[in-house]
Structure 1
Amino acid sequence: MNADKIREFLEQTLGHITALGSDVNIISQILAVIGGLLVAYFTRRQLKTALLSLQGHFPPRSPFARGLEILAGLSLPLIWLAIEFAILAIFQGVGPPSHIISAICSLLVAWIVINVVTSLAENKIWARLVAFCAWTIAALNILGLLTPTLVFLENLAFNLGDTRISMLGVAKAVVAGIIVFWITFGLSRFLEARIHKSRALTPSVQVLTAKLVRVGLISAAVLIILSNSGINITAFAVFSGALGVGIGFGLQKIVSNLISGIILLLDRSIKPGDVIEVGQTYGRVNAMGARYASVITRDATEFLIPNEDLITQQVINWSYSSKNVRMRAPIGVSYDTDIPKALKLIEGAAKDVPRVLENPAPRCLMRGFGDSSIDLELRFWIADPEEGCRNVTSDVLVSVWALFRKEGINVPFPQRDIRVEMVDAKNQS
């Protein structure tokens, strides 16, 4: 790093600023720029409100509505640009040079165009970073400072071993990283959406393919950034060996969950949309990640179950080969009941519940003679276990209860007879 060159650059810049401050034409242009900014600042809300009101005349997701929303967010630079264009026309008509106003107009046009283009991206953070980098480069080019800035950053360098690292190389790596990752994530989301819409792939293969595509694109992006920044990729060989040792000892669970997730996606034993039961957790598989599976229960509670547990523990998959599930509902009737009639009534009551399948038809069986009732069992099938199993059983039992009351069939309850015997005190003595 050359301190004399930096000092000389700063002294020249300060001299130019001092010389410009004594020029009446320069001062008038600066005042025109500041005045235009103040007017735009205090009138931006009116333009934003007008644009948003026009947005209501179009469908919410139409290109016109989206365009008006983007322009509403750029109300300040739009008004400022219109004012500066008017002032620029006045200056050019009068005759004095107007380099500052012309530069401000160019900067505002670049800012508006770049923001309109990057606003089309879904990830706002990456879009703002790309917009900032693009506008900075455009601003330096418009002001004629791009080449001096590149030379200045190239001179800011230091040696790390045999490698020379300059601020220009670091800046190029940062800018390239932001742009490459922005393109990579956008392309990844597009490809994942197309993969998930493909009917030729099963849900598990869709998830696996989407994850492999994302990992491949990110790996390619990292290699592109490293190669463009001048870093020797072969230097990472030692680092990769140390990383392997760290994974073997410190990241056992993470790697286990990752491998388990790949196995689950390959053997298709569990896939998004399946209804599973793991321990006390019963719900629908919402998504499968690299480390865990998201299971949403009937009460809208989302459990994140590690992939390793889905491999090592017993898992009930209610919809593995078929979504048809047979339910059982025990029912007791009194001993004075006409059993054949009760069986038909129970089967008919089950058929009245919309979620109960007609084929296979509900079937009621007599299981035995209980202590206080004749034990029956209703068996019926459903095809939507993701909608819940206990609720449909409740609906069936309510329908049976209503039909029993209509037909005068009693449902007994346990009874106990207590007999008290009087013992003669004389006999005890």
Structure 2
Amino acid sequence: MNQDLLPETISELYANMTAAFSLQFQNLVELIVTPGWRQYQLAIILFLWAAAFLLRLLTQGRWEAWARSRTGWPKWRLRILIQVMRRLTLVYFVILSWGLYLIMLQITWPSRSYLIGIFATLAAAWLVIALLSRLVRNRTLRQIFKWSMWIYATLIALGLTDDVAGFLDGVAIAIGDLNISALGILKAVLLIGVLLTLARLGTGAAERGLKNNDDISPSMQVLLTKGIQVLLYGAVFMTAIRTLGFDLTGIALLSGAIGVGIGFGLQKVVSNLISGIIILMDRSIKPGDVISLGDTFGWINALGARYVSVVTRDGREYLIPNEDLITNQVVNWSHSDRFVRLDLDFGTSYDDDPHQVRATAVRSVKTVGRVLSGGQHEPVCHITGFGDSSVDYVLRFWISDPNKGLTNIRGNVFLALWDAFKAEGISIPFPQREVRVLGPSEGDTEVQHLAKD
């Protein structure tokens, strides 16, 4: 645009924009009122929309039946198919209007298909924007992206982009050498939205690719995923700053000064971030491990930048700060392998044969489903002492799935011992106490007689 023709004040910009829109509105009214091919084109557009609506009614059932048979398709393709089927009328209108527009360009004057071309372009743009907006997960950002792109496509189709761009570029705030205009802000917002969507898709694709690679450990997969996220979103942030026109040198000095000031208030946050990096690098804890930290026992669901998600057997999810896993004692039941040995203490009567008790205990524990047997994981039973009321034993057995719980397997083994001991006639004693009531002694009788006298 010629710089000499740009207005100097916002009032002039507003007046020019009002005049431009008024002219376009008058042209639209003239198109509708004036007899001739303009009215014919509007009638043709209405007819095409009615035909598209009728085609949707006639073919929607067949399309739905065909879509239900696509059971082997991936989820992303099925989502696109669902979005297209929700807009069948618009799809048919785009096909019919573009087909008719291309035919009329060949057989008649371009002015007789001008309006049809505009509506075909707008319909195609709206359809593409509606499908692309589904990539934005956030509902608010999705609506902003959708409406802004629709407005932009409409302005392009009506030929108003230069006028609107000139108006928005003139609405600016000058801070020293920095000039921030409304047009620059809109461009930055749209660019950030597109880049954030691409960064999210790239991060998701990288995460899926790393998870499918068995040569990389789960902790390194998480670390690499976090690194890719930092790089992609950091690039988006730097691009947004440059788009708005900020000087990165000044921002670097300002961020350094602010970082020193807020660093003291974010010591815990920084400590958790550093602890999370250490955990991921030394591979001491990884997703799927079964850990015990204080009273919390569960398996690691996810490793975050600030905390670790631990899910317990009762369905509770604990968010444990990374610093606690570094500074406190943590029991990792599946650090080197997933084999865990459990000990059960019990006692039997002195009248029972200890050889029979040990053999019965080992035989009964092998009947429990999750208990391992054979080799170094063979269950054993030992006498640990002679108690006051029973002979004490310890039963040791191994499992390979601690994430399925420990209390339930102990309960099943105790129940198997109970049934086996009942069948073998082995008794489980309980403490017994004898209370003897002694009669009065002779000395006590003499004292009682003296007391009566």
Normalized against structure 2, the TM-score is what? 0.84
- Which residue among 16, 38, 44 is the counterpart of 1:8? 16
Which residue of structure 2 lines up, in the alignment, with residue 70 of structure 1? 83
What displacement does 1:101 show? Answer: 3.2
The amino acid that maps onto 1:283 is G
Q: Evaluate the alpha carbon distance shift between residue 357 and residue 89 of structure 1 in structure 2; reply closer, same or farther with a 3 A threshold.
A: closer
- Which residue among 62, 67, 71 is the counterpart of 1:59? 71
SS of the equivalent of 1:248 reads helix
The amino acid that maps onto 1:14 is S
What displacement does 1:41 show? Answer: 7.4
SS of the equivalent of 1:273 reads coil
**Structure 1: how far apart are the matches of 2:297 and 2:180?**
56
SS of the equivalent of 1:380 reads strand
Provide, for residues 163-203 of structure 1, a one-character-per-residue CA deviation record: whole Å limited to 9, x for no partner.
Answer: 22222211211111111111111111111211222222211
**Structure 1: how far apart are the matches of 2:189 and 2:20?**
29
What displacement does 1:118 show? Answer: 5.5
Maintained 8 Å contact 1:261/1:307? yes
The amino acid that maps onto 2:67 is Q
Maintained 8 Å contact 2:180/2:245? no
- Which residue among 396, 405, 410 is the counterpart of 2:413? 396
SS of the equivalent of 1:377 reads strand
1:403-414 correspondence to structure 2 within 5 Å: 403-414=420-431
What displacement does 1:427 show? Answer: 4.2
Q: Evaluate the alpha carbon distance shift between residue 391 and residue 427 of structure 1 in structure 2; reply closer, same or farther with a 3 A threshold.
A: farther
**Structure 1: how far apart are the matches of 2:416 and 2:318?**
33
What displacement does 1:223 show? Answer: 1.5
**Structure 2: how far apart are the matches of 1:180 and 1:346?**
65
Which residue of structure 2 lines up, in the alignment, with residue 208 of structure 1? 223
Provide, for residues 235-262 of structure 1, a one-character-per-residue CA deviation record: whole Å limited to 9, x for no partner.
Answer: 2123212331243222122111111111
- Which residue among 241, 256, 259 is the counterpart of 1:244? 259
- Which residue among 8, 25, 34 is the counterpart of 1:24? 34
Return the index of the structure with the highest Cα Rg. Answer: 2
Maintained 8 Å contact 2:178/2:245? no
Q: Evaluate the alpha carbon distance shift between residue 339 and residue 16 of structure 1 in structure 2; reply closer, same or farther with a 3 A threshold.
A: closer
Which residue of structure 2 lines up, in the alignment, with residue 303 of structure 1? 318
Q: Evaluate the alpha carbon distance shift between residue 346 and residue 234 of structure 1 in structure 2; reply closer, same or farther with a 3 A threshold.
A: same
Maintained 8 Å contact 1:323/1:385? yes
What displacement does 1:65 show? Answer: 4.3
- Which residue among 157, 161, 177 is the counterpart of 1:146? 161
2:401 pairs with 1:384: yes
Maintained 8 Å contact 1:291/1:307? yes
2:409 pairs with 1:362: no
Which residue of structure 1 lines up, in the alignment, with residue 189 of structure 2? 174
- Which residue among 253, 263, 278 is the counterpart of 1:263? 278
Moved more, 283-292 or 15-24: 15-24
Provide, for residues 318-359 of structure 1, a one-character-per-residue CA deviation record: whole Å limited to 9, x for no partner.
Answer: 112222211110111111000111111111111222322223
What displacement does 1:152 show? Answer: 2.2
Q: Evaluate the alpha carbon distance shift between residue 172 and residue 64 of structure 1 in structure 2; reply closer, same or farther with a 3 A threshold.
A: closer
Moved more, 159-168 or 376-385: 159-168
The unaligned stretches of length 5 or more in structure 1 are none
Provide, for residues 263-291 of structure 1, a one-character-per-residue CA deviation record: whole Å limited to 9, x for no partner.
Answer: 11112111111110011110001110001
Moved more, 33-42 or 71-80: 33-42
Q: Evaluate the alpha carbon distance shift between residue 427 and residue 76 of structure 1 in structure 2; reply closer, same or farther with a 3 A threshold.
A: farther
Which residue of structure 1 lines up, in the alignment, with residue 343 of structure 2? 328
SS of the equivalent of 1:423 reads coil
**Structure 2: how far apart are the matches of 1:45 and 1:185?**
37
What displacement does 1:228 show? Answer: 3.2
Moved more, 337-346 or 356-365: 356-365
2:206 pairs with 1:194: no
Q: Evaluate the alpha carbon distance shift between residue 336 and residue 147 of structure 1 in structure 2; reply closer, same or farther with a 3 A threshold.
A: same
Which residue of structure 2 lines up, in the alignment, with residue 101 of structure 1? 116
Maintained 8 Å contact 1:287/1:294? yes
Normalized against structure 1, the TM-score is what? 0.89
Q: Evaluate the alpha carbon distance shift between residue 239 and residue 52 of structure 1 in structure 2; reply closer, same or farther with a 3 A threshold.
A: farther
What displacement does 1:67 show? Answer: 4.8
Q: Evaluate the alpha carbon distance shift between residue 324 and residue 134 of structure 1 in structure 2; reply closer, same or farther with a 3 A threshold.
A: same
1:336-351 correspondence to structure 2 within 5 Å: 336-351=351-366
The amino acid that maps onto 2:212 is K
Provide, for residues 386-414 of structure 1, a one-character-per-residue CA deviation record: whole Å limited to 9, x for no partner.
Answer: 11112112222211111111111111122
**Structure 2: how far apart are the matches of 1:331 and 1:86?**
85
Moved more, 231-240 or 417-426: 417-426
Q: Evaluate the alpha carbon distance shift between residue 36 and residue 56 of structure 1 in structure 2; reply closer, same or farther with a 3 A threshold.
A: same
What displacement does 1:156 show? Answer: 2.0
Q: Evaluate the alpha carbon distance shift between residue 161 and residue 417 of structure 1 in structure 2; reply closer, same or farther with a 3 A threshold.
A: same
Maintained 8 Å contact 1:21/1:27? no
Maintained 8 Å contact 2:343/2:397? yes
SS of the equivalent of 1:254 reads helix
Q: Evaluate the alpha carbon distance shift between residue 216 and residue 94 of structure 1 in structure 2; reply closer, same or farther with a 3 A threshold.
A: closer
RMSD: 3.1
Maintained 8 Å contact 1:32/1:87? no
The unaligned stretches of length 5 or more in structure 2 are 1-8, 449-453
Q: Evaluate the alpha carbon distance shift between residue 143 and residue 18 of structure 1 in structure 2; reply closer, same or farther with a 3 A threshold.
A: closer
**Structure 2: how far apart are the matches of 1:341 and 1:383?**
28
1:103-122 correspondence to structure 2 within 5 Å: 103-116=118-131, 119=134, 121=135
Identity of aligned residues (%): 35
2:268 pairs with 1:253: yes
SS of the equivalent of 1:375 reads strand
Q: What is the number of residues matched between the two proteins?
A: 428
Maintained 8 Å contact 1:52/1:68? no
